[in-house]
Amino acid sequence: MEETAKKNESRIVLALDFPFQNPEKRGDLLIKAQNILEIVHPYICAVKINHHLVLPLGVFDGVLHLVNRIHDKGLLAIMDCKANDIGSTNQVIAEYYFAVGFDALIANPFVGWEEGLEPIFGAAQRLNRGVILLTYMSHKGAKEGYGQTICDVRTGVKTAQYVSFAKKALRWNADGVVVGATHPEKIREIHDILKDKVPIYSPGIGAQGGVAEVALEAGARYLIVGREITLAENPVAKIEEMKSVTRYAD
Ligand code: XMP
C-alpha cells in the first residue's frame, strides 16, 4: 500500500460502488467500473470492491476481470466482504477471494479468533495477503456494537469495544483497521493505541459526512472514498479537488 500510495502520491482507496441496477442490465456495471478505473487509476492507491459488484457480476466472472485490471494498473485490490462467520465458512470465503487475486480482505473481529477469524489470518499468511479489521464503522448505529462498553467478568475492568478491537488488531498482526471518518475522535483514540504499526483506513468521506482533512489529521493513513468519486460528474476533477489534502508524502 505504502509503495503504491507513494508512487501515485495518493491516500485514496476507491470504493468501486454503484447504485442498484436492474439485474438484466448488470453488464453495464462492469463497463461503468472499467471506465472509472481507466480514468482515475493514476490518482488512487487501491480499489475496494464489495457486494455492489460481487452480487451482480459474480466473483469468477466480472470481478476477476476487474481485479486483473486493477493489478495491471499497478494498484492493490481489497475485498470488503466484512467476513463475519464461523471459521470453516470464513476459510472458504478467504480462499475464494484470495484465489480471485484480492490482496486483502476486510473482516469483522466480533466473531473472535478461535473458530472465527483464525483461518482467515492463516490463509492470508500462507498466501502473503492482508487482513483488515473493522474497528469502528462509519454509520450512526456503530455505537450500538463497536461503541459498547464491555466488562471483563474476571477482573471487572471496563473497556470500549473498539479499544478492545484495536488491541486485537495489534495482537493478531492485522494489516489495517477500518475506522469511520465520521468519528474522528475514535480515529485519534485508536491511532494512539496502534501508533504507526497498523494503518487506519477511513471510509465515510463526503456522502456520509466525514471530512478528509479531519480524518487524516486525526491519524487515518488511507481514505476509502466511494460515491463522492463514482457518482461525480467528473471523477478526476473531484479527486483533484481533494488532492492537496489526500496527497501521500513521507
Ligand atoms: P461511500 O460512498 O460512503 O462508500 O464513500 C464507502 C464505502 O466503504 C464502505 N464502508 C465501510 N466499510 N467499514 C467498512 O469496512 C465501515 O465503517 C464502512 N463504512 C462504509 C461501504 O460499504 C462503501 O463501500
Tell me what the mean pLDDT of segment 28-35 comes to: 97
**Catalytic residue (choose from 82, 143, 167, 168):** 82
Tell me: pLDDT of 250 over 70: no
Tell me what the mean pLDDT of segment 172-185 comes to: 98
Which ligand 1 atom sits closest to the C-alpha of 137? 17
Angle at CA of residue 106, ends 243 and 114, nearest 5°: 150
Tell me: pLDDT of 51 over 70: yes
Per DSSP, the three-state class of 218 is: helix
Model pLDDT, residue 68: 98
Model pLDDT, residue 246: 87
Model pLDDT, residue 217: 97
Tell me what the mean pLDDT of segment 154-180 comes to: 98
| Residue 174 CA to its chain's centroid (Å) | 13
193 grid coordinates: 493505541
| pTM for this prediction | 0.97
Mean pLDDT of all residues belonging to the chain: 96
Strands of the chain (E only): list them: 12-15, 46-49, 76-83, 104-107, 130-136, 149-151, 158-160, 176-179, 200-203, 222-225
Rounded to the nearest angstrom, the distance between the alpha carbon of 138 and the centre of ligand 1 is 7
Atom 5 of ligand 1: nearest residue by CA position: 226
Report which of 180, 177, 179 is spatially closest to residue 132, judged by C-alpha positions: 177
pLDDT band with cut points at 50, 70 and 90 for residue 54: very high
Model pLDDT, residue 5: 97
> What is the Cα–Cα distance from 244 to 9, expressed in whole angstroms?
10
